[in-house]
Amino acid sequence: MRLVALAFTVDAPRSFEANPGLISFKSKQTIDAVSVRVNGKEYRLVTLPKPTKRGVVGPLGLPPRDQAITVIGFHNGSPVGKATATNVLGLPKSAMITKPTTMTPPNAQLRMRRLSKPAGSSAAWTINLATGRGASWNAGAKFTAASTAKLPILITYLIALKRDPVGAPQWGALQAMIRASSNDAANTMLQAVGGGSVDTGGARVNAVMRKLGAMRSDEAGGYLPNQDRKGLNPPVKVNDQPQLKCCKVVTAHDLGVLMQSIVQAANGTGRAHALGMSGRDARVALWLLAHTDYPGLFEPWTHWVVAHKIGYIDVVWHDVAAVFEPSGTLITVALTENRGGASEGAASRYARGVLDIARTGLDEPEQTVPRRSVRSEE
């Protein structure tokens, strides 16, 4: 069995990753067909265009749940070798489509502005990676970050990592930071990023965020002047700036582009990939973000896989998500802040309205704009 394993290896999928049925293999003997099995049952048999010792198949699309994926390589009808990966979270084929956002439909912008909002301040940002369309509201306003600030820590760590994250010394802390949203684990990860210093780690996270296009968020504290961004799709305006006490801040736009960078890296594209995040790193990140202890604001409103990071304290309820629907991956952000006390229920209803716009509003013709307010409860 060991000789078979050495003769045939599978780079994707591997355990603890989200994968849309992307199969990457290497073999000492030429392969002319690949069988993909889900939990032991035949799922796809793919005949290759020509025999090869190295190849990529897919995306085939996988069922939206955790499963064991077995890949078997064949030569002239005889198996050459096989490999099995467990805890593979299936994604649709559309997860491989990551078009740049080039259009902001006026109709969708109007629906965002009219959307019923919770008491206090709120912001939203959404794009459809399959169509390159997006919409936003108050996306440049700064909000208290809470645990959403752990998303850029994850990204910065994976960009710098030179080995597989699964089994790395920080694997346990990484899981605790994302899945359980542990503050102690977040400090451990900042120390890992900063060479033993939380402050240095925060500064390095800020530097990575700037390179990824997140220009107004701050991991370490303080505000960065003269960083307003103009001419973007969707817009990054400040319509309602909440009062902030101090330190860690995020914007809807910045959280959106950070999540977008992970989805792009999973497909070998985008800024995070260019900085060093491998496809494997990104797929592990998506697996972690899809296995959090808290459902968040978007997951209750969809049956599909949601990779997300929430943030909540007494005055805020936030969520940033990648919703992997078959029609296209939706990057969605909903931020709410109320100094009198934030409401999870109100924030969830607001997120539902944002998700409805992402699903149905980005492709609507302009003449269908409703004259009344579009309520998030609908």
pLDDT digit string, tens, across residues 2-56? 334 458 999 999 999 999 999 999 999 999 999 999 999 999 999 999 999 999 9
Give 223-248 pLDDT, tens digit per residue.
233 333 445 668 776 776 676 655 68
pLDDT of the residue at 219? 78
Residue identified by tokens 């409401």 is 343
Greater pLDDT, 316 or 378: 316
pLDDT of the residue at 4? 43
Distance of alpha carbon 41 from alpha carbon 328, whole angstroms: 27
For domain 2-90, give the CATH superfamily. Answer: Immunoglobulins (2.60.40.10)
Distance of alpha carbon 38 from alpha carbon 293, whole angstroms: 26
pLDDT-derived band at 222, boundaries 50, 70, 90: very low
**Residue 212 vs residues 14, 102, 260, 293, 339: alpha-carbon distances, Å:** 27, 17, 10, 27, 30
Mean per-residue pLDDT of the chain: 90
Which residues, other chains included, contact 68 with Cβ-Cβ below 8 Å and sequence gap of 6+?
38, 39, 40, 84, 85, 86, 87, 88
Residue type at position 53: K
User: Within a 10 A sphere around the Cβ of 266, how many other Cβ atoms?
Assistant: 33
The CA-to-CA distance between both ends of the chain, in Å, stands at 57
Residue 283: both structure tokens together: 């797929």
- How large a percentage of the chain has pLDDT more than 90? 84
Q: What is the chain's percent helix, strand, coil content, to nearest 5?
A: 35, 30, 40
Give 272-301 pLDDT, tens digit per residue.
999 999 999 999 999 999 999 999 999 999
Residue 335: both structure tokens together: 């931020």
Q: Is 154 helix (H, G, I), strand (E, B) or coil?
A: helix
Cα maximum dimension of the chain: 70
pLDDT-derived band at 218, boundaries 50, 70, 90: confident
Dihedral angle at the C-alpha atoms of 36, 38, 42, 45, nearest 10 degrees? -20
Long-range contacts of 77-82 (CB under 8 A, 24+ apart): 77/33, 80/4, 80/7, 80/8, 80/27, 80/29, 80/31, 81/4, 81/5, 81/7, 81/8, 81/9, 81/27, 82/4, 82/8
pLDDT of the residue at 166? 97
Residue identified by tokens 């579009």 is 374
pLDDT of the residue at 1? 29
Query: Above 60 in pLDDT, residue 374?
Result: no
Distance of alpha carbon 273 from alpha carbon 292, whole angstroms: 24
Has domain 96-368 been given CATH number 3.90.950.10?
no
CA nearest to 37, candidates 60, 70, 62: 70
What does the pLDDT average to over 166-182?
Answer: 96
pTM of the predicted structure, to 2 decimals: 0.90
pLDDT of the residue at 242? 73
Say how far residue 115 (Cα) sits from the centre of its chain.
Answer: 24
Q: Sketch the domain layout of the chain as residue ranges.
A: 2-90, 96-368
